[in-house]
Amino acid sequence: MTSSDRPRTFQIGTHTLAAAPLEPGLYVVATPIGNLGDVTLRALETLAAADLVACEDTRVTHKLLERYAIAASLTPYHEHNAAAARPRLLEKLAAGAAIALVSDAGTPLISDPGYKLVTAARAAGHAVTAVPGASAVMAALAVAGLPTDRFFFEGFLPAKQGARRARIAELAHMTATLVLFESGPRLATALADLAAAFGGREAAICRELTKLHEEVRRDPLPALAAHYAQGGETRGEFVVLIAPADERAAPRGEDIDGLLRRTLSESSLKDAVATVADATGQPRKEIYRRALELVKSENDGSTDQSND
């Protein structure tokens, strides 16, 4: 069966509904982040009517389409094949196709390569339409009980410890709720680094949102770090939210010393001073002076120990 003669329908319960034809263009379609019931009627109609559905993993998207009896034509579009797949999708758009872009879960373009396709489609003059719906970021903000008037989505922190600690230092005085994605295997070490830099700030760990084993754990960062270091459940998908820094509170001397020690262990004096000054908003001259004192103190300590 070709895309031209397949049924353009979807099914809800025992009811089969016809999908209205789509205008040519790219449709950015949000899909459920876990529970397949969290899909919009408009998303189902768009997926059923599209000439082609570009998705991260055809197996994952097939499960959603199967649930709603949608006979769509699927093509993979992910970070490993995007460079080769993108020109082919643009050719189809130029020929008048209606293409739906989906990710494995949630809203496309959030931590996936979809933005390059959207940018290229718009540059070529094709219509790009949002079909909004589920988002792990928004779901986590809704249930965490942390301020939502301002938030900053960081995505995944760097995997390597040195780069991760440097980035955390840059984020330490963000005066908005911080939203992170993290993998289970890295969660405990990431929380330890966050607690060391952010102190006792309130935070929430949202695991497996909308799924059978959904869990939201709310505590100060040190308590969360201890929980996961001691064997807390790390299976599943995680969103980490951290309360904003108090913009009225200047960073304490011990906070600056801690940041300096961590960054000095991973980078040059010049780079460490620049990182900590940017992260804390303190004068670079003062940070440089304190960094020299710390280096001298540590060198003197090493000398004393060698003479024992």
- Tell me: the pLDDT tens digits for 152-179? 999 999 999 999 999 999 998 889 999 9
306 or 208, greater pLDDT: 208
pLDDT, the chain, mean: 90
Q: What is the mean pLDDT of residues 26-44?
A: 97
- Split at pLDDT 50, 70, 90, the class of 278 is low
Q: What is the mean pLDDT of residues 266-293?
A: 81
Query: Pairing relation of β-strands 25-29 and 98-101?
Result: parallel
306 or 184, greater pLDDT: 184
pLDDT digits (tens, 9 = 90+) for 282-294: 788 888 988 898 8
Residue 49 has pLDDT above 50, yes or no: yes
Please state, as a whole number, how many other Cβ atoms lie within 10 Å of the Cβ of residue 19: 17
Residue 280 has pLDDT above 70, yes or no: no
What distance in Å separates the CA atoms of residue 51 and residue 22, rounded to the nearest whole number?
Answer: 9
Specify the pTM: 0.77
What distance in Å separates the CA atoms of residue 194 and residue 217, rounded to the nearest whole number?
Answer: 16
What distance in Å separates the CA atoms of residue 127 and residue 96, rounded to the nearest whole number?
Answer: 11
Locate 3 and state its tokens.
Answer: 């895309």
Lowest mean pLDDT among 60-64, 93-97, 256-260: 256-260
* The predicted structure's pLDDT at residue 1: 46
Identity (one letter) of the amino acid at 72? A
pLDDT digits (tens, 9 = 90+) for 219-266: 999 999 999 998 889 999 999 999 998 754 445 555 678 778 877 887
Residue 198 has pLDDT above 70, yes or no: yes
Residue 87 has pLDDT above 90, yes or no: yes
What distance in Å separates the CA atoms of residue 10 and residue 188, rounded to the nearest whole number?
Answer: 43
* The predicted structure's pLDDT at residue 258: 76
Q: Which residue has the tokens 């408009």?
A: 42
Residue 82 has pLDDT above 70, yes or no: yes
Q: What is the mean pLDDT of residues 103-121?
A: 89
Residue 98 has pLDDT above 50, yes or no: yes
Identity (one letter) of the amino acid at 38? D
Identity (one letter) of the amino acid at 203? A
Lowest mean pLDDT among 45-54, 105-114, 157-166, 184-193: 105-114
Lowest mean pLDDT among 136-145, 198-207, 274-283: 274-283
